[in-house]
Structure 1
């Protein structure tokens, strides 16, 4: 993963992946996780997704991880919240009531820093990573979340048509990572 690539995407506002409303897959299928109110949902590589506001509005607590602080600053402004910022090694935590977003490399995030996770919502995090990194990422995600249940949005397409990201990740690969 080219860290500079993602920082430049945010700085140049080249974020075609950012949607103007909560993702329809989240809205339709999130109930399948059968979580109780106040469950803590982790969004890896979250950016400033409006899915966070939707989860908060449904009574869930949200944790997220993002490489760049720019979208997280925008996220908190959009939510009308003033974050309290603290540092844990190479990771900064932006916190307010029912929300903790960890800014830095997700591989620097540990279970101890992240805390309790009741479910994972992967809104295209796996497909943002190149093939050679996905196995390490999936293993790390399972470790830091104590193998929490997951709702994942993935993409499958002819990879020769587009270099990526997003990358094509078929169901066989998803099963290989999370079986």
Structure 2
């Protein structure tokens, strides 16, 4: 399930989001503006593994499943992880729902601030290396995960240690 902030729901023109219990397998999507461009930050609830999608458009996100799943799989491959590390991701079966966990929302706001800062220090969105940005985000610690970086949580779960 892709849990979207109100800004993402408005961009997608979703009038009746899906209803379901929040779980650690959910993904959260947050719309941020950087250099006057719409960007999407997508974060896995259980691990905080995040994917930044720059220069998104409403038309390019309808339906939202294919571009988001493609970005997630590309980020996993860039980290040398199988594309099913976080479970089977079917781009045509993505249900869009409202956000459900305030802790995750707070963390996403922190990640958005970190993303904006990292992009600004590289000279802006046009000069930013998205793979390097992902590399940094995947190694950012947060209290919600017990200060374990997302990449370490993924690696441990992939190796069956969690």
Shorter-chain TM-score range = under 0.3
Greater strand share, 1 or 2?
1
TM-score, normalised relative to structure 2: 0.24
- Relative contact order higher in (CA < 8 Å, ≥ 6 apart): 2
